[in-house]
A and B are shown apart, each in its own frame.
Chain A
Amino acid sequence: MSEIVLETREITRDYHIGGGLLRQGRVIHAVKGVSFKLEKGRTLAIVGESGCGKSTLARMITMIDAPTSGELFIDGEKVDISRNGLTPELRRKVQIVFQNPYGSLNPRQKVGDVLMEPLVINSDLPAAERRDRAMQMLTKVGLAPEHFNRYPHMFSGGQRQRIAIARALMLNPRLLVLDEPVSALDLSVQAQVLNLLADLQDEFGLTYVFISHDLSVVRYIADEVMVMYFGEAVEYGTREEVFSNPKHEYTRTLFAATPRATPESIRARLARKVQKAPAPPQPARA
Chain B
Amino acid sequence: MVTNAKEADAAIGLEGGPAVDATRRAMLYEFWYYFRQNRGAVLGLCIFLLIVLVAIFAPLIAPHSPSAQVRGSFLVPPVWQAGGSWDFILGTDAVGRDILSRLIYGARFSLFVGLVVVTLSVISGVIIGLIAGYFRGTVDTIIMRLMDIILAFPSLLLALVLVAVLGPGLFNAMIAIALVLQPHFVRLTRAAVMAEKGRDYVMAAKVAGAGNIRLMFKTILPNCTAPLIVQGTLSFSTAILEAAALGFLGMGAQPPTPEWGTMLAEAREFILRAWWVVTFPGLAILITVLAINLVGDGLRDALDPKLKRS
> B145 at interface (Cβ–Cβ under 8 A)?
no
Q: Mark B14-29, 1 if CB is under 8 A from A, else 0.
A: 1001011001000000
Q: Mark A96-109, 1 if CB is under 8 A from B, else 0.
A: 10111001111111
Determine if B205 and A106 form an interchain contact, defined as CB atoms under 8 angstroms apart: yes
> B119 at interface (Cβ–Cβ under 8 A)?
no
> A117 at interface (Cβ–Cβ under 8 A)?
yes
Please name the residue on chain B nearest to A117 by beta carbon: B208
Determine if B209 and A103 form an interchain contact, defined as CB atoms under 8 angstroms apart: no
Determine if A64 and B204 form an interchain contact, defined as CB atoms under 8 angstroms apart: no
Q: Mark B191-209, 1 if CB is under 8 A from A, else 0.
A: 0000000011101111111
Chain A residues in 8 Å Cβ range of B219: 106, 109
CB distance from A148 to the nearest CB of B (A): 6
Chain B residues in 8 Å Cβ range of A92: 209
Tally A residues with Cβ within 8 Å of B.
34
Q: Mark A146-158, 1 if CB is under 8 A from B, else 0.
A: 1011110010000
Determine if A146 and B12 form an interchain contact, defined as CB atoms under 8 angstroms apart: yes
Determine if A98 and B223 form an interchain contact, defined as CB atoms under 8 angstroms apart: no
Please name the residue on chain A nearest to B206 by beta carbon: A64
Determine if B13 and A64 form an interchain contact, defined as CB atoms under 8 angstroms apart: no
Question: A201 vs B209: C-alpha distance in the bound complex, in angstroms?
Answer: 23
- A99, A104, A112, A118: which contacts B201 (Cβ < 8 A)? A104
Question: A203 vs B23: C-alpha distance in the bound complex, in angstroms?
Answer: 35
CB distance from B227 to the nearest CB of A (A): 15
Known A-B contacts A96-B207, A121-B210; A146 and B201 likewise in contact (beta carbons under 8 Å): no
Q: Mark B204-220, 1 if CB is under 8 A from A, else 0.
A: 11111111001000010
> B154 at interface (Cβ–Cβ under 8 A)?
no
Question: A64 vs B207: C-alpha distance in the bound complex, in angstroms?
Answer: 7
Chain A residues in 8 Å Cβ range of B72: none
> B222 at interface (Cβ–Cβ under 8 A)?
yes
Question: A91 vs B204: C-alpha distance in the bound complex, in angstroms?
Answer: 12
Please name the residue on chain A nearest to B211 by beta carbon: A121
B75-128 at interface with A (beta carbon < 8 Å) = none
A25-73 at interface with B (beta carbon < 8 Å) = 62, 64
Known A-B contacts A98-B200, A151-B23; A121 and B209 likewise in contact (beta carbons under 8 Å): yes
CB distance from A117 to the nearest CB of B (A): 6
Determine if B210 and A149 form an interchain contact, defined as CB atoms under 8 angstroms apart: no
Chain B residues in 8 Å Cβ range of A104: 200-201, 203-204
Number of A-B contacts (CB under 8 A): 76
Determine if B200 and A100 form an interchain contact, defined as CB atoms under 8 angstroms apart: yes
> A251 at interface (Cβ–Cβ under 8 A)?
no
Determine if A62 and B214 form an interchain contact, defined as CB atoms under 8 angstroms apart: no
Question: A112 vs B214: C-alpha distance in the bound complex, in angstroms?
Answer: 17
Question: A103 vs B209: C-alpha distance in the bound complex, in angstroms?
Answer: 18
CB distance from A141 to the nearest CB of B (A): 16
> A174 at interface (Cβ–Cβ under 8 A)?
no
> A162 at interface (Cβ–Cβ under 8 A)?
no
Determine if B12 and A106 form an interchain contact, defined as CB atoms under 8 angstroms apart: no
Chain A residues in 8 Å Cβ range of B14: 112, 131, 148-149
Determine if B209 and A88 form an interchain contact, defined as CB atoms under 8 angstroms apart: yes
Determine if B203 and A64 form an interchain contact, defined as CB atoms under 8 angstroms apart: yes
Please name the residue on chain A nearest to B221 by beta carbon: A108
Chain A residues in 8 Å Cβ range of B200: 98-100, 103-104
> A171 at interface (Cβ–Cβ under 8 A)?
yes
- B206, B211, B223: which contacts A108 (Cβ < 8 A)? B223
Determine if A62 and B207 form an interchain contact, defined as CB atoms under 8 angstroms apart: yes
Q: Which of A104, A122, A164, A167 has the most chain B CB atoms inside 10 A of its CB?
A: A104
Q: Mark A76-114, 1 if CB is under 8 A from B, else 0.
A: 000000000000100110011011100111111100100
Given A104-B203, A167-B204; 13 other pairs, CB 8 A cutoff: A98-B200, A103-B200, A106-B205, A109-B222, A122-B209, A131-B14, A135-B12, A145-B12, A146-B12, A149-B14, A149-B19, A150-B13, A154-B23
> What are the nearest 5 A-B pairs in CB distance?
A149-B13, A104-B200, A118-B208, A108-B222, A103-B200
List, sorted by A's number, 5 A–B pairs whose CB atoms are closer than 8 Å: A64-B206, A105-B204, A109-B219, A117-B210, A146-B13
